[in-house]
């Protein structure tokens, strides 16, 4: 094995999806899996197959379609879990099973009520069982950073003897600090006699904001796999952020002396895709992919940048796929060929009918905006990529509102192929609009969350609306973009309702 390479294990589709409200459907999971494969991710943890039929099917779907990355599924140290993973990842060209079992004293006493020897026997039995049917096995002693060191070493040595090829060291609750976590990895290298037969992996949570720092400390001390997620999403405060770890290794290669297989130019697009699928907006100050990551407002900074970029930029925006200002090449006079070429350069590969639909949307937008940015094109295509089955379609929207005027909305909809016109009032135009739309369908949608952000800069920018709606106890996300935020709000709400209907 090349000791200068760090394997990137992405768990966006598994641990990332466990973030409250981040549930993704099978289609979204597959799209993200393809994006992760383009990114160059070594291992994609596609889900927890035994947890539900939907999760099993999603993992199997990813396994059937992903060809280059290793497809992995998670299992407890239980036979039915292991069988579920083996069956789900069976179609994959490259496959792995990830088995976990808690080993810290607090888990043994309060969760399992078992002794160390009983836990050790469970771990060995699980790995041996899996090894009979699969060669690529990862084992995680859950809450490893709080596990008694002597017992941690015993467990790792035993599971490697039983057939584990990767041992993952989770800081499950984000309790550790970089010095502590680095020492844990160093201790494993020094005290586990057969550690040379397995890859050491990190899996750090961000409860204290130290997930990336802890992961890098682990790498410094010999870990050669990092488990992480796009945008750092995950349970509670999230996981280590892939883009931050990879760019730290790349930017400070002089310090770490390590490489990855990641095509960093895909980061911006994948970040945006995950944000849209989960409904979690990327904070402007988020490192690497945040809107402000490469913007400079201070006069001193601007002066330095104009003289020499390296004065205040340690990375090139293009290196992480951030669209440059040179992207405003399209306008209302641009032709279909230029439009199609631009989409291809942005990484979209659409069939001719989808291109036609997106081009029509582009022309409509070009009549409203002077400059079309790459982000505008991405918003258009992502809207067009929504499920074609639409029970409810917005065909017209008229509204009046003002500080001293009661908001009034008239919507024209196509519902199950039939034209319906509804009028309503509300606390504001969005509320009135949602009441009118909700009166058309049999389901009773409840709005849980609403957010809006601009797609690009400028007073003619598109507004991108994301909503979370509860329908019959099921939470669904909807999104849409338009230069008219009321129209975007209506379309996002309708998108969510259509998803709920077809679920």
Cβ atoms of residues 226 and 219 within 8 Å: yes
Count the helix, strand and coil residues of the chain and give each as a percent rounded to the nearest 5.
Answer: 45, 20, 35
**In the predicted structure, residue 447 carries a pLDDT above the cut 70:** yes
Reported confidence tier of residue 366, pLDDT bands at 50, 70, 90: confident
* C-alpha dihedral sign at 353, 355, 356, 361: positive
Q: What is the rounded average pLDDT of the residues 407-424?
A: 92
What are the distances in angstroms from CA 34 to CA 26, 377, 378, 482? 12, 20, 17, 27
Q: Are the beta carbons of 141 and 156 closer than 8 angstroms?
A: yes
pLDDT > 70 fraction of the chain, expressed in percent and rounded? 90
85/337: higher pLDDT? 85
In this model, does residue 253 exceed pLDDT 90? Answer: yes
- Which range among 106-115, 131-140, 387-396, 477-486 shows the weakest confidence by mean pLDDT? 387-396
pLDDT of 309 higher than 80: no
Average pLDDT, the chain: 89
Choose the CATH number for 392-502 among 3.40.50.720, 3.30.160.270, 2.60.40.10, 3.40.1010.10. 3.30.160.270
- Predicted TM-score (pTM) of the model is 0.81
Q: Which two tokens stand for residue 157?
A: 């040595």
Mean pLDDT of 105-112: 90
In whole angstroms, what separates CA 97 from the centre of its chain? 21
Mean pLDDT in residue range 152-174: 98
- Least Cα distance to 210 among 247, 260, 246, 173 occurs for 173
Question: Is the pLDDT assigned to residue 293 strictly greater than 80?
Answer: no
Buried b (16+ CB within 10 A) or exposed e, 62-95: bbeebeebbbbbbbbbeeebbbbbbbbbebbebb
pLDDT of residue 299: 54
Determine contact, residues 445/438, Cβ cutoff 8 Å. Answer: yes
Could you tell me the pLDDT band of residue 278, with boundaries at 50, 70 and 90?
A: confident
Nearby residues of 89 by Cβ (< 8 Å), 6 or more positions away: 46, 59, 60, 63, 71, 72, 73, 95, 96, 97
- 14 phi, psi to nearest 5 deg: -115, -75
Question: Taking 80 as the threshold, does the pLDDT of residue 324 lie above it?
Answer: no
Q: Look-up: residue for tokens 């944000």?
A: 275
User: Does the structure show a pLDDT above 80 at 443?
Assistant: no
Statement: residue 300 has pLDDT above 60: no
- Going by C-alpha positions, the residue among 453, 470, 471 that lies closest to residue 462 is 453
Report domain extents, the chain: 7-278, 292-322, 324-384, 392-502
Query: Average pLDDT, stretch 355-365?
Result: 83
pLDDT of residue 35: 94
Of 158-167, 285-294, 333-342, which one has max mean pLDDT? 158-167
- Express each pLDDT in 376-395 by its tens digit: 777 777 666 554 457 889 99
Residues in the chain: 503
Which of 498, 457, 464 has its CA nearest to residue 484?
A: 464
- Give residues with Cβ within 8 angstroms of 297, minimum separation 6: none
* Highest averaged pLDDT of the listed ranges 184-198, 279-293, 327-341, 482-496: 184-198
pLDDT of residue 77: 97
pLDDT, residue 205, reads: 98
The model's confidence at residue 326, banded by pLDDT at 50, 70 and 90, is very low
Report the pLDDT value the prediction gives residue 184, as an integer from 0 to 100.
98
Which range, of 58-72, 112-126, 364-378, averages the lowest pLDDT? 364-378
Asked if the model's pLDDT at residue 303 lies above 70, the reply is: no
Cα(313)–Cα(473) distance, integer angstroms: 47
Shortest CA distance to 158 belongs to which of 110, 208, 105, 119? 119
Query: Of 168, 192, 194, whose CA–CA distance to 181 is shortest?
Result: 168
15-24, 107-116, 186-195 — most confident range: 186-195
Query: For the residues 438-452, what does the mean pLDDT come to?
Result: 88
* Number of helical (H) and strand (E) elements in the chain, helices listed first: 17, 14
Q: How confident is the model at residue 362 (pLDDT cuts 50, 70, 90)?
A: confident
Q: Among 87-101, 456-470, 484-498, name the most confident range.
A: 87-101
Q: What's the whole-number mean pLDDT along residues 319-346?
A: 69
Dist CA 152 CA 148 (whole Å) = 6
Mean pLDDT of the region 255-271: 96
- pLDDT of 327 reads 41
Distance CA 335, CA 142 (A): 56
Q: Please name the CATH architecture into which domain 7-278 falls.
A: Alpha-Beta Barrel (3.20)
Q: What φ, ψ does residue 307 adopt, rounded to 5°?
A: -80, -40
């Amino acid at each position: 094995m090349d000791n200068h390479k760090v394997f990137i294990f992405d768990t966006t589709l598994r641990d990332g999806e466990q973030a409250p409200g981040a549930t993704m459907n099978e289609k979204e999971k597959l799209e993200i899996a393809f994006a992760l494969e383009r990114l160059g991710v070594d291992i994609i943890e596609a889900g927890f197959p035994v947890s539900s039929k939907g999760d099993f099917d999603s993992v199997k779907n990813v396994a059937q379609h992903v060809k280059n990355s290793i497809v992995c599924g998670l299992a407890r140290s239980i036979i039915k879990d292991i069988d579920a993973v083996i069956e789900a990842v069976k179609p994959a060209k490259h496959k792995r099973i990830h088995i976990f079992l808690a080993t810290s004293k607090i888990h043994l006493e309060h969760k399992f009520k078992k002794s160390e020897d009983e836990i050790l026997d469970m771990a060995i039995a699980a790995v041996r069982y899996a090894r009979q049917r699969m060669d690529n096995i990862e084992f995680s002693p859950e809450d490893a950073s709080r596990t008694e060191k002597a017992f941690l070493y015993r467990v790792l040595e035993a599971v490697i003897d039983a057939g584990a090829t990767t041992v993952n060291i989770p800081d499950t609750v984000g309790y550790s600090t970089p010095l502590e976590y680095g020492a844990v990895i160093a201790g494993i290298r020094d005290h586990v006699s057969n550690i040379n037969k397995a890859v050491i992996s990190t899996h750090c949570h961000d409860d204290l904001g130290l997930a990336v720092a802890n992961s890098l400390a682990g790498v410094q001390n010999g870990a050669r796999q990092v488990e992480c997620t796009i945008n750092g999403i995950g349970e509670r405060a999230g996981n280590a952020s892939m883009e931050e770890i990879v760019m730290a290794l790349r930017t400070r290669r002089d310090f770490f002396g390590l490489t990855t297989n990641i095509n960093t130019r895909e980061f911006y697009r994948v970040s945006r895709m995950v944000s849209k699928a989960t409904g979690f907006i990327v904070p402007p100050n988020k490192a690497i992919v945040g809107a402000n990551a490469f913007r400079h407002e201070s006069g001193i900074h601007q002066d330095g940048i104009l003289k020499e970029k390296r004065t205040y930029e340690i990375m090139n925006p293009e290196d992480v796929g951030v669209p440059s200002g040179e992207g405003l090449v399209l306008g209302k006079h641009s032709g279909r060929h230029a439009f199609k070429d631009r989409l291809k350069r942005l990484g979209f590969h659409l069939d001719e009918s989808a291109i036609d639909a997106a081009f029509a949307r582009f022309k409509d937008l070009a009549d409203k905006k002077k400059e079309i940015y790459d982000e505008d094109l991405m918003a258009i295509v992502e809207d067009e990529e929504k499920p074609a089955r639409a029970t409810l379609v917005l065909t017209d929207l008229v509204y009046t509102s003002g500080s001293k005027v009661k908001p009034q909305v008239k919507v024209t909809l196509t519902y199950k192929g039939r034209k319906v016109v509804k009028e309503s009032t509300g606390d504001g135009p969005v509320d009135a609009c949602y009441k009118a739309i909700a009166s058309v369908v049999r389901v009773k949608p409840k709005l849980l969350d609403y957010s809006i952000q601009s797609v690009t800069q400028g007073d003619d920018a598109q507004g991108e609306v994301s909503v979370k709606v509860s329908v019959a106890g099921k939470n669904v996300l909807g999104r849409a973009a338009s230069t008219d935020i009321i129209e975007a709000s209506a379309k996002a709400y309708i998108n969510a309702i259509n998803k709920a209907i077809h679920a």
